[in-house]
Amino acid sequence: METARKSRLLVARRWLPDSIASRLVLTVVLALLLTQAVSALVYLTDRPPGPPAHSMRVLVQRVTAIVQLVESTPPQERRRLVKAIDDPVLRVDWNPETPRFANQREGFPFDRLRRAIRGELDDPDRAVVVEVRRERPMPGPFPVDEHRWGTDVRLSVGLKDGSWLTFVGGDPLEGPFRLLRFALWMAGIVGAVALVSVWTARRMTAPIARFADAAERLGVDGEAPPLPEAGPQELRAATRAFNRMQARLARFVADRTQMVAAMSHDLRTPLTRLRLRAELVEDPEMQRKMLADLDEMAAMINATLAFARDDAKHEPRGPLDLADLLQSLCDDRVDAGHEAAYEGPAHATVDGRPVALRRAFANLMDNAIAYGGGLTVRLCLGDGDLRVEIEDGGPGIPEAEFEKVFAPFYRLERSRSRDTGGVGLGLATARTVVRGHGGDIALANRPEGGLRVTVTLPR
């Protein structure tokens, strides 16, 4: 069943447009067709059954029938008969004397009406007068047309005894709730077009939204699964290129990890040999200096390997209490005899890698202690992110060096002593971890002195 359904979907998609432009055109065409269908439905359901009440044919038949009926009725009964015949659609009045005519009309289409009445009565000399009581543009091609007998036209027909019957079109028999029907009609058209447009727009933008989410996820999780290739051909081509780029980046990271592992094996062996040879040096001062250099080289290699391993580490992400993590780091430094204070909420949950975040904030705090003597950690909750501020009372950093200090092995302290400045990977590691979580790190000098490190993480 599943295979058959997929086959039907493939057949249906084969007949659909395959580009964004063609799908937009198809949407507009479908919307127009839908509006026409709604208009036709309203028109057909709104029309009364049978011919129009004020059509020419119905008018002539009714007028001649009334004329013949009144003529066959005694004069004393005619007024009562006409009163019974009169209705809102066709107003009828009987005058025993000739009425006063005004605004008589000749020519087409009035002659046509007169000829039709005389033909139905079989009396070519019958007196028929057509008047237009108000001069204004009439709907349709002429005042008396095939569909509408307006209230502005009065028709007078003479009887054989010299009396007259006057006919005036009443208000059309409009369906109930005319304005409501019109409003519903317009609302139906607008609603139909809006529904089709929204449905099509969502169908077209869903792959774009997935593409944007995948691009955002790539900066946070390099091991994210490939994006499914769906949507118009332009989006499929972009998705295919994006997946290839993601695969190349994954291969690049894997190759770099393998290269670092090989360097670890190759460098540790000669360092061990050099340390053994240094032990054989008879000069104590020379031996001390050589061993110190070897220890520094070993520390740099270990730090480099740790930096590379953490950069490509597959630690699982999950919810963690960032406030609790920061408080525990501050407590650890207080227990070690340093000044460290935490300010902020007792709990704040964030999605991330606990070990990586702990190392990043530990590096930042250790830098604050090494250069500022102490630190204050402040956690602030924003609408969509968390902001961690780490402040110290040290000399700060020149603004020209703000970006340089994040480079691996870059140190403001030039002595290269591990006791005063480490190896220069603390900030680089911290920024790598934070950016891997979708956040960033910013530096700023405090007006009262010291450095403020601001870490922003998405909630």
Q: DSSP for 190-237?
A: HHHHHHHHHHHHHHHHHHHHHHHHHHHHHTT-TTPPPPP--SSHHHHH
Q: Which residues contact 442 (CB under 8 A, 6 or more apart)?
A: 453, 454, 456
Locate the DSSP E strands across 21-105: 90-95
253 neighbors 222 (Cβ within 8 angstroms): yes
Torsional class of 177: left (φ above 0), alpha (ψ -120 to 50), beta (otherwise) = left
pLDDT of residue 42: 63
pLDDT of residue 144: 43
Q: Could you report the average pLDDT of every consecutive run of 10 residues in the chain (459 residues)?
A: 55 57 68 71 57 65 87 88 82 85 75 84 86 55 44 81 83 52 73 76 74 69 69 77 80 70 70 79 82 77 64 69 92 90 90 86 89 88 87 87 79 52 71 83 89 89
Q: Give the bridge partners for 153, in sequence order.
A: 132
pLDDT of residue 303: 66
Rounded CA separation 1/379 (Å):
55
Instruction: Tell whether the torsion through CA atoms of 105, 109, 113 and 118 is positive or negative.
Output: positive
Length of the chain: 459
Q: pTM for this one? A: 0.48
Instruction: Reduce the DSSP state of residue 128 to 3 states and report it.
Output: strand
Q: Write the DSSP string, 243-306.
A: HHHHHHHHHHHHHHHHHHHHHHHHHHHHHHHHHHHHHT-S-HHHHHHHHHHHHHHHHHHHHHHH
387 neighbors 442 (Cβ within 8 angstroms): no
pLDDT of residue 138: 43
pLDDT of residue 178: 56
**Identity at 346, one-letter amino acid code:** A
